[in-house]
Amino acid sequence: MTTKPSFQPEGPRVEAALVYRDDRGWVVGAPPNEPAGEEAFSGPNARRDALEFAYRRYGSARFFAN
């Protein structure tokens, strides 16, 4: 009986969007390889909204809580 590996080889890693807080609220900065700029979120759910946006738009996020 032969077996196949249960994993797939990894491709290049995608750069993550940067999510951080500043005077505008929670900001999503585009990864270096993306032409888009920054998107700011404010309000009581701004952190959650920013993280959801980063994952939907770019597929990953680096989150810095301060």
Q: List the domain range (segments joined by +) for residue 22.
A: 17-63
Percent of the chain with pLDDT over 90: 50
pLDDT of residue 43: 95
CA-based max dimension of the chain: 62
Which carries the bigger pLDDT value, residue 7 or residue 36? 36
Q: Is residue 3 part of a domain?
A: no
Question: Any alpha helices (H) in the chain, and if so which ranges?
Answer: 46-58
pTM of the predicted model as reported, rounded to 2 decimal places: 0.74
pLDDT of residue 63: 84
Q: Is residue 5 part of a domain?
A: no
Give the model confidence (pLDDT) of 24-48 as tens digits: 999 999 988 888 789 999 999 999 9
Cα 3 off chain centre by:
36
Number of domains in the chain: 1
Amino acid at 46: A
Q: What is the C-alpha separation between 30 and 12, in angstroms, rounded?
A: 18
Q: Is residue 36 part of a domain?
A: yes
pLDDT of residue 1: 54
| Spatial CA neighbour of 31 closest among 64, 58, 65 | 58
Q: Is residue 4 part of a domain?
A: no
